[in-house]
Amino acid sequence: MKQYINSAIIALAVIIGFFIVGAAYKYKFKATENITVTGLAEKDFASDQIVWTGNYSRKMMDLKRAYSLLKEDEGKIRTYLKTKGVAEGEMVFSAVAIDKDFTPKYELPICGKVTFNFYSPFKHIFKGFNSGVKTGFPSMLINFKKKKWKAF
């Protein structure tokens, strides 16, 4: 009989241990079902104004020539927009953004010619300058409906 009591105590201890571990597991991974939002509010509203945006760019080897062509393009765009009724003060032209354009070219290293610790088999070949300008102007939708716009 004493042997059964020892086995029953061990079984009861194991069952109680499983309950304690299960409760701790449930507590640790309990999902919080609260949603907290701070600092953001959204509201839908009707607007009668739109901002028209566009961009134009040039790709050339000569940076000075690309800049002068962009300024010529700006003059043409300003003239076109003036003919369509856009006021000079409403037009916004950003500064010229300039990026160098490179194309990778794969070359095998020549044995005995490499003096660097690291040698990349890719060479970057300069293809020219990409320069561009972003432009935009606000317009009232009421005025937009009265005007006929055509691409230039």
| pLDDT tens-place string over residues 71-130 | 999 999 889 888 888 888 888 888 888 888 888 777 665 655 555 545 556 677 888 888
Interacting residues of 56 by C-beta distance below 8 A, sequence separation 6+: 70, 73, 77, 132, 133, 135
Homologous superfamily assigned to 49-146: Protein of unknown function (DUF541), domain 2 (3.30.70.2970)
Q: Which residue has the higher pLDDT, 143 or 86?
A: 86
Q: Return the pLDDT at 92.
A: 86
Q: What pTM does this model have?
A: 0.50
Q: Which residue has the higher pLDDT, 2 or 104?
A: 104
| CA atoms of 105 and 102, how far apart (whole Å) | 10
Over range 1-24, report the average pLDDT. Answer: 86
Q: Return the pLDDT at 131.
A: 87
- Split at pLDDT 50, 70, 90, the class of 152 is very low
Q: Is the pLDDT of residue 149 over 60?
A: no
If phi > 0 it is left, if psi is from -120 to 50 it is alpha, else beta; for residue 2 that is alpha
